[in-house]
Amino acid sequence: MKVAVTGADGFIGSHLVEALVRAGADVVAMAQYNSVGSWGWLEDLPADVLDGVEVRLGDLRDAGTTSSALAGASVVYHLGALIAVPYSFDAPRSYVETNVLGTQNVLEAVRRESSRLVHTSTSEVYGSALSVPISEDHPLQAQSPYAATKIAADKLVESYVAAYGVRAVTVRPFNTYGPRQSARAFIPAVMAQALAGRTTVRVGSLSPRRDLTFVADTVAAFRAVGELDDDPWNGATFNAGTGSSWSMGHVLHEIARVVGVHLDVDTDAERVRPPAAEVRHLECDASRLRAATGWEARSSLREGLEATRAWMAEPRHFGSYKPDLHQV
């Protein structure tokens, strides 16, 4: 089966491409165009996997390159997006253009092709939890421009299902982490500093709680949804998370144990979100996904951190991180 993945050059997208190829799919990987021809994290895939991938450089904001990349795909996994919450306060228009208009371009392409669409949302659309665990019926609360654009994209998918009969489902992952994640996120930012020998690490707030899902489990959720029978392709939304949450302070302690060091903390004001923008607590209710597909997260936090440390410690991977630079 021919499938297409947008955002294939990114963290989760590259892992999904690898899993789909290993499962026997014919994969078209849409990556962000750049003048040096970089394929992003796709270049980290083994050669035998890349042999099964057709890489197409383009831009979600451009309807032509998007339509061309997705042509002929039976299923489109739409992961392409601008994702960093802090940067969305600096460049909100970019997030509207990529996350909202880009999603519209994807929807028009799948509408013409009669493809099925697996659309990627985010737990950030729920804002700070009003109740936990968070089900798909929890109110949507935009506490950042990023979250607002993802809500808008989700609603666009909903409208294309209702108005045009597009066959689509939405996956809402909760805080995925693991190999290939950029240092804008808490775990790789702290781990990079620890692996570089820093005994005092610069961090933001340590009180927010997150449901941390290892990337292999998130990818398994995407695949499980993408392989559903016809009935659920009616705009259904599925949360994907572990059902447990941890404070960032606890996670920092676990990173120190995994790396084998003692870490002191220096709170960096630049890494602290404005109080009204900070999502305080995210904890997933994935019972709908479990009932529909049998999926459940299998990796413990310790196992996921161990796998992340082993990957990051390899010189060719660690060289892509800048431990002393705050990346938004």
Distance CA 39, CA 54 (A): 11
pLDDT of residue 218: 98
> Which pTM was predicted?
0.96
Of the candidate CATH numbers 3.10.510.20, 3.30.70.270, 3.90.245.10, 3.40.50.720, the domain formed by 2-176+215-240 belongs to 3.40.50.720
Q: 218: buried, middle or exposed (CB in 10 Å: 19+, 13-18, 0-12)?
A: buried
Q: Would you name the residues annotated as active-site residues?
A: 146
Distance CA 92, CA 282 (A): 23
pLDDT of residue 146: 97
pLDDT of residue 318: 96
CA 108 distance to own-chain centroid: 22
Written as one letter, the residue type at 42 is L
- For residue 98, give the 3-state DSSP assignment: helix
pLDDT tens track, the chain, 328 positions: 899 999 999 999 999 999 999 999 999 999 999 999 999 999 999 999 999 999 999 999 999 999 999 999 999 999 999 999 999 999 999 999 999 999 999 999 999 999 999 999 999 999 999 999 999 999 999 999 999 999 999 999 999 999 999 999 999 999 999 999 999 899 999 999 999 999 999 998 899 999 999 999 999 999 999 999 877 899 999 999 999 999 999 999 999 999 999 999 998 888 877 777 788 999 999 999 999 999 999 999 999 999 999 999 999 999 999 998 887 7
pLDDT of residue 277: 74
Burial 288-304 (b: 16+ CB within 10 A, else e): bbbebbebbbebebeeb
pLDDT of residue 268: 85
pLDDT of residue 325: 85
User: What DSSP designation does 132 have?
Assistant: S
The full set of domain ranges for the chain reads: 2-176+215-240
Is the preceding peptide bond at 133 cis, omega within 30 degrees of 0?
A: yes
